[in-house]
Amino acid sequence: MRGQKFPIRYLIVFLTFICTSVCYIERVGFSIAYTIAADAAEVSQSTKGTILSVFYYGYAFSQVPGGWAAQKIGGRRILLFSFVIWSLTCALCPLDPNRVMALVIARLLVGVAQGFIFPSIHTVLAQWVPPHERSRSLSLTTSGMYLGAALGMLLLPSLVRFKGPQSVFIAEAALGITWSLLWFRFANDPPRSEHPKATAAGFGESLLPVRDSQKLKADRSSHIPWRKIFLSLPVWAIVVNNFTFHYALYVLMNWLPTYFELGLKFSLQEMGSSKMMPYLNMFVFSNIGGIIADHMVTKRILSVTNTRKLLNTVGFLVSAFSLMALPLFRTSDGVVFCSSMALGFLALGRAGFAVNHMDIAPRYAGIVMGVSNTAGTLAGIIGVELTGQLLEAAKSNNSDLSSPDSWRVVFFIPGLLCIASASVFLLFSTGERIFD
Protein backbone atom coordinates (compact mmCIF):
# COMPACT_ATOMS: atom_id res chain seq x y z
CA MET A 1 0.00 0.00 0.00
CA ARG A 2 2.61 2.52 1.10
CA GLY A 3 4.81 1.81 -1.91
CA GLN A 4 2.14 2.78 -4.37
CA LYS A 5 3.06 5.73 -6.56
CA PHE A 6 -0.60 6.77 -6.66
CA PRO A 7 -2.19 6.27 -3.22
CA ILE A 8 -5.80 5.12 -3.14
CA ARG A 9 -6.91 8.28 -1.33
CA TYR A 10 -5.82 10.34 -4.35
CA LEU A 11 -8.08 8.26 -6.57
CA ILE A 12 -10.94 8.74 -4.09
CA VAL A 13 -10.45 12.52 -4.15
CA PHE A 14 -10.25 12.56 -7.96
CA LEU A 15 -13.50 10.58 -8.23
CA THR A 16 -15.26 12.98 -5.85
CA PHE A 17 -14.02 15.85 -8.03
CA ILE A 18 -15.60 14.21 -11.09
CA CYS A 19 -18.72 13.58 -8.99
CA THR A 20 -19.31 17.27 -8.23
CA SER A 21 -18.55 18.22 -11.84
CA VAL A 22 -21.21 15.83 -13.15
CA CYS A 23 -23.74 17.07 -10.56
CA TYR A 24 -23.35 20.67 -11.69
CA ILE A 25 -23.44 19.73 -15.36
CA GLU A 26 -26.82 18.20 -14.53
CA ARG A 27 -28.09 21.31 -12.77
CA VAL A 28 -26.97 23.70 -15.50
CA GLY A 29 -28.14 21.28 -18.18
CA PHE A 30 -31.67 21.02 -16.85
CA SER A 31 -31.96 24.78 -16.62
CA ILE A 32 -30.80 25.21 -20.22
CA ALA A 33 -32.87 22.37 -21.70
CA TYR A 34 -36.06 23.12 -19.79
CA THR A 35 -35.93 26.86 -20.44
CA ILE A 36 -35.60 26.31 -24.18
CA ALA A 37 -38.38 23.71 -24.26
CA ALA A 38 -40.66 25.79 -22.00
CA ASP A 39 -40.20 28.95 -24.06
CA ALA A 40 -41.00 27.03 -27.23
CA ALA A 41 -44.18 25.71 -25.58
CA GLU A 42 -45.07 29.22 -24.31
CA VAL A 43 -45.12 28.12 -20.66
CA SER A 44 -45.83 30.93 -18.19
CA GLN A 45 -42.97 32.47 -16.21
CA SER A 46 -44.55 31.45 -12.89
CA THR A 47 -44.70 27.80 -13.98
CA LYS A 48 -41.09 27.97 -15.15
CA GLY A 49 -40.09 29.41 -11.80
CA THR A 50 -41.84 26.56 -9.97
CA ILE A 51 -40.11 23.86 -12.03
CA LEU A 52 -36.68 25.48 -11.74
CA SER A 53 -36.91 26.01 -7.98
CA VAL A 54 -38.45 22.71 -6.86
CA PHE A 55 -35.04 21.01 -7.05
CA TYR A 56 -33.75 23.20 -4.21
CA TYR A 57 -36.63 22.28 -1.91
CA GLY A 58 -35.80 18.59 -2.28
CA TYR A 59 -32.10 19.40 -1.97
CA ALA A 60 -32.60 21.34 1.27
CA PHE A 61 -34.84 18.64 2.74
CA SER A 62 -32.30 15.84 2.36
CA GLN A 63 -29.10 17.50 3.64
CA VAL A 64 -29.35 16.50 7.31
CA PRO A 65 -30.86 13.06 6.56
CA GLY A 66 -28.00 12.62 4.09
CA GLY A 67 -25.44 13.31 6.80
CA TRP A 68 -27.19 10.91 9.16
CA ALA A 69 -27.35 8.16 6.52
CA ALA A 70 -23.69 8.63 5.60
CA GLN A 71 -22.75 8.38 9.27
CA LYS A 72 -24.82 5.25 9.91
CA ILE A 73 -24.56 3.36 6.61
CA GLY A 74 -21.35 4.78 5.14
CA GLY A 75 -20.66 7.69 2.82
CA ARG A 76 -19.34 5.44 0.06
CA ARG A 77 -22.59 3.44 -0.19
CA ILE A 78 -24.91 6.43 0.14
CA LEU A 79 -22.96 8.33 -2.52
CA LEU A 80 -23.37 5.47 -4.99
CA PHE A 81 -27.06 5.02 -4.19
CA SER A 82 -27.91 8.72 -4.59
CA PHE A 83 -25.99 8.96 -7.86
CA VAL A 84 -27.82 5.98 -9.36
CA ILE A 85 -31.22 7.40 -8.28
CA TRP A 86 -30.80 10.81 -9.90
CA SER A 87 -29.19 9.34 -13.02
CA LEU A 88 -32.09 6.93 -13.59
CA THR A 89 -34.57 9.75 -12.95
CA CYS A 90 -32.94 11.80 -15.72
CA ALA A 91 -32.94 8.82 -18.07
CA LEU A 92 -36.62 8.00 -17.52
CA CYS A 93 -38.14 11.51 -17.28
CA PRO A 94 -39.59 12.88 -20.54
CA LEU A 95 -38.93 16.59 -21.03
CA ASP A 96 -42.48 17.71 -21.76
CA PRO A 97 -43.10 21.24 -20.42
CA ASN A 98 -46.85 20.62 -20.39
CA ARG A 99 -46.52 17.71 -17.95
CA VAL A 100 -45.94 19.95 -14.98
CA MET A 101 -46.65 17.42 -12.22
CA ALA A 102 -44.32 14.82 -13.74
CA LEU A 103 -41.51 17.36 -13.94
CA VAL A 104 -42.14 18.57 -10.38
CA ILE A 105 -41.91 15.00 -9.05
CA ALA A 106 -38.79 14.28 -11.12
CA ARG A 107 -36.98 17.45 -10.05
CA LEU A 108 -37.96 16.90 -6.42
CA LEU A 109 -36.54 13.36 -6.60
CA VAL A 110 -33.31 14.59 -8.22
CA GLY A 111 -33.01 17.29 -5.56
CA VAL A 112 -33.49 14.82 -2.71
CA ALA A 113 -30.98 12.38 -4.25
CA GLN A 114 -28.34 15.06 -4.84
CA GLY A 115 -28.89 16.38 -1.32
CA PHE A 116 -27.27 13.19 -0.02
CA ILE A 117 -24.16 13.67 -2.13
CA PHE A 118 -22.18 16.42 -0.37
CA PRO A 119 -22.67 15.10 3.19
CA SER A 120 -21.56 11.70 1.87
CA ILE A 121 -18.49 13.23 0.22
CA HIS A 122 -17.48 14.90 3.49
CA THR A 123 -17.86 11.61 5.33
CA VAL A 124 -15.73 9.79 2.74
CA LEU A 125 -13.00 12.45 2.72
CA ALA A 126 -12.90 12.58 6.52
CA GLN A 127 -12.24 8.82 6.47
CA TRP A 128 -9.56 8.90 3.80
CA VAL A 129 -7.75 12.24 3.91
CA PRO A 130 -5.20 13.13 6.63
CA PRO A 131 -5.46 16.61 8.20
CA HIS A 132 -2.52 18.14 6.30
CA GLU A 133 -4.17 17.27 2.95
CA ARG A 134 -7.75 18.24 3.75
CA SER A 135 -7.74 21.78 2.36
CA ARG A 136 -6.48 20.93 -1.11
CA SER A 137 -8.48 17.69 -1.25
CA LEU A 138 -11.78 19.35 -0.41
CA SER A 139 -10.93 22.39 -2.57
CA LEU A 140 -10.27 20.13 -5.57
CA THR A 141 -13.49 18.21 -4.92
CA THR A 142 -15.67 21.31 -4.63
CA SER A 143 -13.97 23.06 -7.54
CA GLY A 144 -15.57 20.39 -9.70
CA MET A 145 -18.86 22.24 -9.20
CA TYR A 146 -17.53 25.33 -10.92
CA LEU A 147 -15.81 23.43 -13.72
CA GLY A 148 -19.02 21.50 -14.29
CA ALA A 149 -21.05 24.71 -14.43
CA ALA A 150 -18.60 26.25 -16.91
CA LEU A 151 -18.57 23.15 -19.13
CA GLY A 152 -22.35 22.98 -19.02
CA MET A 153 -22.68 26.62 -20.08
CA LEU A 154 -20.19 26.08 -22.91
CA LEU A 155 -21.28 22.74 -24.38
CA LEU A 156 -24.91 21.98 -23.60
CA PRO A 157 -26.57 24.80 -25.58
CA SER A 158 -25.01 23.33 -28.74
CA LEU A 159 -26.28 19.86 -27.79
CA VAL A 160 -29.81 21.23 -27.42
CA ARG A 161 -29.48 23.06 -30.72
CA PHE A 162 -28.47 19.98 -32.71
CA LYS A 163 -30.12 17.10 -30.84
CA GLY A 164 -33.00 18.71 -28.96
CA PRO A 165 -33.64 19.33 -25.22
CA GLN A 166 -34.26 15.67 -24.37
CA SER A 167 -30.71 14.83 -25.45
CA VAL A 168 -29.39 16.74 -22.42
CA PHE A 169 -31.23 14.36 -20.06
CA ILE A 170 -29.81 11.33 -21.86
CA ALA A 171 -26.27 12.76 -21.80
CA GLU A 172 -26.54 13.57 -18.08
CA ALA A 173 -27.87 10.11 -17.27
CA ALA A 174 -25.01 8.52 -19.23
CA LEU A 175 -22.46 10.60 -17.30
CA GLY A 176 -24.11 9.69 -13.99
CA ILE A 177 -24.19 5.95 -14.69
CA THR A 178 -20.59 5.99 -15.95
CA TRP A 179 -19.41 7.68 -12.76
CA SER A 180 -21.45 5.22 -10.66
CA LEU A 181 -19.70 2.28 -12.34
CA LEU A 182 -16.29 3.83 -11.70
CA TRP A 183 -17.15 4.49 -8.05
CA PHE A 184 -18.47 0.94 -7.59
CA ARG A 185 -15.31 -0.48 -9.14
CA PHE A 186 -12.61 1.62 -7.45
CA ALA A 187 -13.98 3.11 -4.20
CA ASN A 188 -13.72 1.28 -0.90
CA ASP A 189 -13.45 1.99 2.81
CA PRO A 190 -9.97 2.69 4.20
CA PRO A 191 -8.33 -0.10 6.22
CA ARG A 192 -6.64 0.89 9.46
CA SER A 193 -3.32 -0.26 8.01
CA GLU A 194 -3.56 2.52 5.45
CA HIS A 195 -3.24 5.10 8.24
CA PRO A 196 -1.47 3.77 11.38
CA LYS A 197 -2.32 6.92 13.35
CA ALA A 198 -5.96 7.00 12.31
CA THR A 199 -7.44 7.44 15.76
CA ALA A 200 -5.09 10.24 16.79
CA ALA A 201 -5.39 12.07 13.50
CA GLY A 202 -9.15 11.81 13.34
CA PHE A 203 -9.56 9.86 10.13
CA GLY A 204 -9.46 6.30 8.83
CA GLU A 205 -11.19 3.14 9.97
CA SER A 206 -12.10 4.63 13.35
CA LEU A 207 -14.65 6.84 11.57
CA LEU A 208 -16.43 4.04 9.71
CA PRO A 209 -19.95 2.97 10.70
CA VAL A 210 -19.91 0.02 13.09
CA ARG A 211 -21.76 -3.28 12.74
CA ASP A 212 -24.36 -4.27 15.33
CA SER A 213 -21.94 -6.73 16.90
CA GLN A 214 -19.41 -3.97 17.44
CA LYS A 215 -21.67 -1.38 19.03
CA LEU A 216 -20.83 -2.32 22.61
CA LYS A 217 -17.13 -1.94 21.86
CA ALA A 218 -17.50 1.35 20.02
CA ASP A 219 -20.55 2.98 21.53
CA ARG A 220 -19.37 6.50 20.80
CA SER A 221 -19.54 5.78 17.05
CA SER A 222 -23.27 5.05 17.32
CA HIS A 223 -24.21 8.16 19.27
CA ILE A 224 -24.61 11.41 17.34
CA PRO A 225 -24.33 14.45 19.66
CA TRP A 226 -27.13 16.45 18.02
CA ARG A 227 -27.57 18.85 20.94
CA LYS A 228 -23.86 19.64 21.11
CA ILE A 229 -23.73 20.16 17.35
CA PHE A 230 -26.64 22.60 17.28
CA LEU A 231 -25.37 24.55 20.32
CA SER A 232 -21.77 24.82 19.10
CA LEU A 233 -20.59 28.32 18.14
CA PRO A 234 -17.89 26.98 15.74
CA VAL A 235 -20.61 25.00 13.95
CA TRP A 236 -22.76 28.12 13.67
CA ALA A 237 -19.75 30.04 12.31
CA ILE A 238 -19.62 27.47 9.49
CA VAL A 239 -23.40 27.62 8.98
CA VAL A 240 -23.44 31.43 8.72
CA ASN A 241 -20.63 31.46 6.17
CA ASN A 242 -22.19 28.66 4.13
CA PHE A 243 -25.44 30.67 4.01
CA THR A 244 -23.63 33.78 2.78
CA PHE A 245 -21.51 31.89 0.24
CA HIS A 246 -24.56 30.37 -1.42
CA TYR A 247 -26.63 33.56 -1.19
CA ALA A 248 -23.99 35.41 -3.20
CA LEU A 249 -23.36 32.49 -5.58
CA TYR A 250 -27.00 31.85 -6.45
CA VAL A 251 -27.84 35.54 -6.82
CA LEU A 252 -25.02 35.95 -9.33
CA MET A 253 -25.75 32.67 -11.13
CA ASN A 254 -29.43 33.47 -11.57
CA TRP A 255 -29.48 37.26 -11.99
CA LEU A 256 -26.19 38.25 -13.61
CA PRO A 257 -27.53 37.36 -17.09
CA THR A 258 -30.49 39.67 -16.43
CA TYR A 259 -28.07 42.42 -15.38
CA PHE A 260 -26.29 42.08 -18.72
CA GLU A 261 -29.51 42.00 -20.74
CA LEU A 262 -31.59 44.63 -18.93
CA GLY A 263 -29.12 46.54 -16.78
CA LEU A 264 -26.46 47.06 -19.47
CA LYS A 265 -28.59 46.40 -22.59
CA PHE A 266 -25.96 43.92 -23.74
CA SER A 267 -26.75 40.62 -25.44
CA LEU A 268 -25.28 37.49 -23.90
CA GLN A 269 -24.89 36.03 -27.38
CA GLU A 270 -22.22 38.64 -28.12
CA MET A 271 -20.15 37.66 -25.10
CA GLY A 272 -19.06 34.23 -26.36
CA SER A 273 -17.05 32.27 -23.80
CA SER A 274 -16.40 35.28 -21.54
CA LYS A 275 -19.57 34.52 -19.55
CA MET A 276 -17.79 31.38 -18.29
CA MET A 277 -14.98 33.37 -16.66
CA PRO A 278 -16.56 33.80 -13.19
CA TYR A 279 -16.97 30.01 -12.86
CA LEU A 280 -13.53 29.25 -14.24
CA ASN A 281 -12.15 31.76 -11.75
CA MET A 282 -13.91 29.90 -8.96
CA PHE A 283 -12.32 26.65 -10.14
CA VAL A 284 -8.84 28.20 -10.10
CA PHE A 285 -9.17 30.10 -6.80
CA SER A 286 -10.76 27.16 -5.01
CA ASN A 287 -7.69 25.05 -5.72
CA ILE A 288 -5.27 27.89 -4.95
CA GLY A 289 -6.94 28.34 -1.56
CA GLY A 290 -6.59 24.64 -0.78
CA ILE A 291 -2.91 24.54 -1.74
CA ILE A 292 -2.11 27.67 0.30
CA ALA A 293 -3.97 26.35 3.35
CA ASP A 294 -2.26 22.97 3.34
CA HIS A 295 1.13 24.60 2.81
CA MET A 296 0.60 26.87 5.82
CA VAL A 297 -0.50 23.96 8.01
CA THR A 298 2.21 21.53 6.83
CA LYS A 299 5.04 24.05 7.14
CA ARG A 300 3.61 25.30 10.46
CA ILE A 301 3.51 28.87 9.19
CA LEU A 302 0.15 29.26 10.95
CA SER A 303 -2.00 27.02 13.11
CA VAL A 304 -5.00 25.29 11.54
CA THR A 305 -7.31 27.77 13.30
CA ASN A 306 -5.47 30.86 12.07
CA THR A 307 -5.09 29.43 8.56
CA ARG A 308 -8.85 28.90 8.27
CA LYS A 309 -9.57 32.36 9.65
CA LEU A 310 -7.06 34.10 7.37
CA LEU A 311 -8.29 32.56 4.12
CA ASN A 312 -11.95 32.91 5.04
CA THR A 313 -11.50 36.59 5.98
CA VAL A 314 -9.48 37.53 2.89
CA GLY A 315 -11.83 35.66 0.57
CA PHE A 316 -15.06 37.08 1.94
CA LEU A 317 -13.84 40.68 2.34
CA VAL A 318 -12.46 40.95 -1.20
CA SER A 319 -15.67 39.38 -2.46
CA ALA A 320 -17.74 41.87 -0.44
CA PHE A 321 -16.08 44.92 -1.99
CA SER A 322 -16.25 43.38 -5.47
CA LEU A 323 -19.98 42.76 -5.10
CA MET A 324 -20.69 46.27 -3.86
CA ALA A 325 -18.62 47.78 -6.68
CA LEU A 326 -20.32 45.71 -9.39
CA PRO A 327 -23.22 48.16 -10.13
CA LEU A 328 -20.64 50.89 -10.84
CA PHE A 329 -19.40 49.04 -13.93
CA ARG A 330 -21.26 49.83 -17.14
CA THR A 331 -19.30 47.66 -19.58
CA SER A 332 -19.43 43.89 -20.05
CA ASP A 333 -15.69 43.53 -19.48
CA GLY A 334 -15.91 45.46 -16.21
CA VAL A 335 -18.81 43.37 -14.94
CA VAL A 336 -17.12 40.10 -15.95
CA PHE A 337 -13.96 41.19 -14.11
CA CYS A 338 -15.85 42.29 -11.00
CA SER A 339 -18.06 39.20 -10.82
CA SER A 340 -15.00 37.00 -11.42
CA MET A 341 -13.25 38.66 -8.48
CA ALA A 342 -16.33 38.24 -6.29
CA LEU A 343 -16.84 34.55 -7.08
CA GLY A 344 -13.14 33.75 -7.21
CA PHE A 345 -12.45 35.06 -3.72
CA LEU A 346 -15.62 33.45 -2.40
CA ALA A 347 -14.15 30.16 -3.63
CA LEU A 348 -10.86 31.03 -1.92
CA GLY A 349 -12.82 31.44 1.31
CA ARG A 350 -13.97 27.83 1.08
CA ALA A 351 -10.48 26.85 2.26
CA GLY A 352 -11.65 28.48 5.49
CA PHE A 353 -15.23 27.63 6.39
CA ALA A 354 -15.91 24.67 4.06
CA VAL A 355 -12.94 22.57 5.20
CA ASN A 356 -13.66 23.41 8.83
CA HIS A 357 -16.30 20.64 9.05
CA MET A 358 -13.54 18.05 9.00
CA ASP A 359 -11.35 20.00 11.45
CA ILE A 360 -13.86 20.27 14.26
CA ALA A 361 -15.85 17.08 13.71
CA PRO A 362 -14.10 14.52 11.49
CA ARG A 363 -16.31 11.73 12.85
CA TYR A 364 -19.48 13.74 12.11
CA ALA A 365 -18.25 15.74 9.11
CA GLY A 366 -21.16 14.59 6.93
CA ILE A 367 -23.72 15.60 9.54
CA VAL A 368 -22.22 19.04 10.16
CA MET A 369 -21.99 19.49 6.39
CA GLY A 370 -25.65 18.52 6.09
CA VAL A 371 -26.65 21.14 8.65
CA SER A 372 -24.59 23.93 7.06
CA ASN A 373 -25.53 23.00 3.50
CA THR A 374 -29.21 23.14 4.44
CA ALA A 375 -28.61 26.78 5.38
CA GLY A 376 -26.75 27.28 2.09
CA THR A 377 -29.62 25.85 0.06
CA LEU A 378 -32.19 27.97 1.89
CA ALA A 379 -29.98 30.99 1.19
CA GLY A 380 -30.24 30.26 -2.52
CA ILE A 381 -34.03 30.07 -2.36
CA ILE A 382 -34.27 33.26 -0.27
CA GLY A 383 -31.70 35.20 -2.29
CA VAL A 384 -33.14 34.42 -5.72
CA GLU A 385 -36.71 35.12 -4.58
CA LEU A 386 -35.82 38.35 -2.74
CA THR A 387 -33.78 39.64 -5.69
CA GLY A 388 -36.76 39.17 -7.98
CA GLN A 389 -38.95 41.18 -5.61
CA LEU A 390 -36.35 43.95 -5.31
CA LEU A 391 -36.03 44.24 -9.07
CA GLU A 392 -39.80 44.22 -9.53
CA ALA A 393 -40.07 47.11 -7.05
CA ALA A 394 -37.19 48.94 -8.76
CA LYS A 395 -38.85 48.48 -12.13
CA SER A 396 -42.05 50.03 -10.78
CA ASN A 397 -40.13 53.06 -9.54
CA ASN A 398 -37.75 53.54 -12.49
CA SER A 399 -39.86 52.05 -15.33
CA ASP A 400 -36.84 49.95 -16.43
CA LEU A 401 -33.79 48.26 -14.94
CA SER A 402 -31.05 50.07 -16.84
CA SER A 403 -30.26 52.42 -13.93
CA PRO A 404 -27.43 51.39 -11.55
CA ASP A 405 -29.69 52.45 -8.67
CA SER A 406 -32.05 49.58 -9.55
CA TRP A 407 -29.29 47.06 -8.89
CA ARG A 408 -27.36 48.61 -6.01
CA VAL A 409 -29.37 46.92 -3.24
CA VAL A 410 -29.26 43.59 -5.08
CA PHE A 411 -25.46 43.43 -4.84
CA PHE A 412 -25.07 45.34 -1.56
CA ILE A 413 -27.01 42.69 0.40
CA PRO A 414 -24.59 39.80 -0.34
CA GLY A 415 -21.68 42.21 0.07
CA LEU A 416 -22.75 43.19 3.58
CA LEU A 417 -23.49 39.55 4.40
CA CYS A 418 -19.91 38.68 3.41
CA ILE A 419 -18.51 41.28 5.85
CA ALA A 420 -20.79 40.11 8.67
CA SER A 421 -20.03 36.43 8.04
CA ALA A 422 -16.27 36.99 7.92
CA SER A 423 -16.55 38.71 11.31
CA VAL A 424 -18.53 35.80 12.79
CA PHE A 425 -15.98 33.27 11.54
CA LEU A 426 -13.09 35.36 12.85
CA LEU A 427 -14.65 35.47 16.31
CA PHE A 428 -16.10 32.00 16.81
CA SER A 429 -14.39 29.45 14.54
CA THR A 430 -11.66 27.02 15.54
CA GLY A 431 -9.46 24.54 13.74
CA GLU A 432 -9.30 22.21 16.74
CA ARG A 433 -11.23 18.99 17.02
CA ILE A 434 -14.20 19.58 19.35
CA PHE A 435 -16.34 16.47 18.67
CA ASP A 436 -15.10 12.96 19.54
CB 142 within 8 A of CB 362: no
Report domain extents, the chain. 1-189, 225-436
pLDDT tens digit sequence for 279-335:
889 989 988 998 999 899 888 999 999 999 999 999 999 999 999 999 888 887 888
pLDDT at 405 over 90: no
pTM recorded for the entire structure? 0.76
Between residues 432 and 317, the one the model is more confident about: 317
CA angle in degrees (0–180, nearest 5) for 7-127-347:
85
What percent of the chain is modeled with pLDDT above 70? 87
What is the distance of C-alpha 224 from the center of its chain? 24
The CATH architecture that domain 1-189 belongs to is: Up-down Bundle (1.20)
Pick the CATH number of 225-436 from 1.10.287.70, 3.30.70.260, 3.40.630.40, 1.20.1250.20: 1.20.1250.20
φ/ψ (deg, to 5) at 288:
-60, -45
Task: Grade residue 194 by pLDDT with cuts at 50, 70 and 90.
Answer: very low
Same fold, 1-189 and 225-436: yes
Separation of alpha carbons 72 and 391, rounded Å: 45
Question: Which residue stretches of 116-188 are H helix?
Answer: 117-128, 134-163, 166-186
